[in-house]
Amino acid sequence: MTAPIPREIPGLPAVPVKRPALLPSPVPARAVMAPVRRPWAAAYRLTLALAATASVTVLVLLGSPALALSHFATQSAALLALVSFASARRSWTGRQPLPGAVTGAALLYALITGLVHHLLLADTNPAFAFALPDSTSVPAVIAAHTLHTALPVAALLDWLILTPPARTHLRQTATWMLYPLAYLTFSLARGELLPTHPARYLYPFLDVTQHGYKGVLGNALLLGLAFYALAVLLVAVDHTRPNPVRRRPKTGFRLRAPVG
């Protein structure tokens, strides 16, 4: 009989075995998550987009297109319509939602429109602000109220209830402030280029002839700080609100508790 072969030969050092380190997988998490179609969310966002498009279209057709499109309210509604259309398509097809920087910006500008109107312009006729020939007509009044009230509320509900948290960052708030700053520059430049226009300045708190440049810049600074605080609040809420969308992994089976 032969002697058993020893597992180790005395006197020889052990050969170290190098095990490959586990590298992070380059596959994104969405590649292993089953797409979830959300027809109800798509229908809601499509309705929101159509309402925003209709309100802007009515105000443009009933009055001066250049004047209507110069308002912050119509510009923010147009952006909200584009973002809502894109979000509706992604919800219908089960694709990943839009980046939080995009949806957050659209929501912020819609909220600015509603808050400025109801807190600073509550005594003015919303349709009259667009210098329409007949500011009391039913289509003009409905479009103006939709622009300043219905759209901001509907956009906020969409973001709170139907949109998953995007984990936005504070650094994005500075980027969101670029558009209000650009609109301030546009408003002041428009007032200088149209000195005899009846709607030279679109908003009373930006009227240089009434407040002077010092007063207008002071008003703009206060509004800018308020808008930035609102943007920070949206980021804070985005980090604390629950996720309304639950995706299922593409495993084909369910994990169950061990038996015994």
Query: Could you write out the DSSP letters of every residue in 214-239?
Result: HHHHHHHHHHHHHHHHHHHHHHHHHT
Q: Is residue 223 part of a domain?
A: yes
pLDDT top residue among 260 and 126: 126
Q: Is residue 60 part of a domain?
A: yes
Q: Is residue 70 part of a domain?
A: yes
pLDDT digits (tens, 9 = 90+) for 223-254: 999 999 999 999 999 998 888 766 555 555 45
* Total domains, the chain: 1
pTM of the model: 0.80
**Residue range of the domain that includes 136:** 37-238
* Closest C-alpha among 25, 175, 31 to residue 99: 175
What distance lies between CA 247 and its chain's CA centroid?
22
pLDDT digits (tens, 9 = 90+) for 97-125: 899 999 999 999 999 999 999 998 877 76
Secondary element (H or E) of residue 60? helix 39-62
Contact status, residue 82 vs residue 64, Cβ threshold 8 Å: no
Q: Is residue 4 part of a domain?
A: no
Q: Is residue 190 part of a domain?
A: yes
Q: Which residues contact 237 (CB under 8 A, 6 or more apart)?
A: 160
Q: Which residues contact 62 (CB under 8 A, 6 or more apart)?
A: 130, 132, 133, 134, 137, 139, 140, 143
Q: Is residue 251 part of a domain?
A: no
